[in-house]
Amino acid sequence: MYLQKKDQKLEMGEVLPLMEAFNTIQGEGYYKGSAAYFIRVGGCDVGCHWCDVKESWNPNLHPVTSVTKIINAAKKCSDTVVVTGGEPLMWNMGPLTQGLKSLSIKIHIETSGAYPISGYWDWFCLSPKKNKLPLVNAYNRADELKIIIYNKDDFSFAESQAQNVRLDCKLYLQPEWSKREKVIPLIVDYIMKNPKWRVSLQTHKYLNIP
């Protein structure tokens, strides 16, 4: 299914399977409402059944693109870049983040944490998945923990994950989009009783933007 990592440029992080890149408003978590340039990298084997970008899973569907080209497009758009996927840490993020950092661009990542960390990050959003749990270093690095709530069992999962991150990590519960009408009342009630958590909504979907 996946591109051959023995490809030297891919292994070195000089190229990446780029699904899409676009200027938008960050819709979720701590930085919601702020302008950002999103870089969505193809490839993911975590396999969440509710994933809303399943087309990102197979990296072979997306053009292998030079990091230089990706950086040149990003620098024209915003002073903040969000790298997401798919699962971006499947690939070597060193050259991409080095290039962005050299331009004084702030770099955020959204990741499941299931792969070793590469790259340089100003903000690390960890969104653990039951299918493939984060590595220890991802918990230690997380600035923001975001748990997707699909059903009541996910609250227990959220608490178990919160035990693994730093005390200053921001904690978010986010309704799975297709179940939002059912789970938002549950989330509100839960946070009222457990105020260490905050609500994260996919506000970009309400705003009808990417």
| 46 within a domain of the structure (yes/no) | yes
Beta bridge partners of 170: 144
Residue 104 lies in a domain: yes
Q: Span 34-47, mean pLDDT?
A: 95
* Domains held by the chain: number: 1
In a domain, 1, yes or no: no
Share of the chain residues as helix, strand and coil, in percent rounded to the nearest 5: 35, 25, 40
Region 97-124: what's the mean pLDDT? 98
Q: Do the domain assignments include residue 3?
A: no
What amino acid occupies position 68? T
With 0-12 / 13-18 / 19 or more C-beta atoms within 10 angstroms meaning exposed / middle / buried, residue 119 is buried
Has residue 92 been placed in a domain?
yes
3-class SS at 89? helix
In angstroms, the CA 52 to CA 90 distance is 19
Is the peptide bond preceding residue 86 cis, with omega within 30 degrees of 0? yes
Q: Is residue 101 in some structural domain?
A: yes
Give the span between the Cα atoms of 29 and 160, in whole angstroms: 19
Among 13-17, 19-23, 50-54, 191-195, name the one with the lowest average pLDDT: 50-54
User: What tens digit of pLDDT does each residue of 126-174 get?
Assistant: 999 999 999 999 999 999 999 999 999 999 999 999 999 999 999 999 9
Q: Domain for residue 154, yes or no?
A: yes
Q: In the predicted model, what is the mean pLDDT of residues 188-193? A: 98
**What average pLDDT does the chain have?**
94
Question: What CATH code is carried by the domain that includes residue 93?
Answer: 3.20.20.70
Residue 1: per-residue pLDDT: 43
pLDDT at residue 3, as a whole number = 62
pLDDT of residue 4: 56
Structural domain for 87, as ranges:
8-206
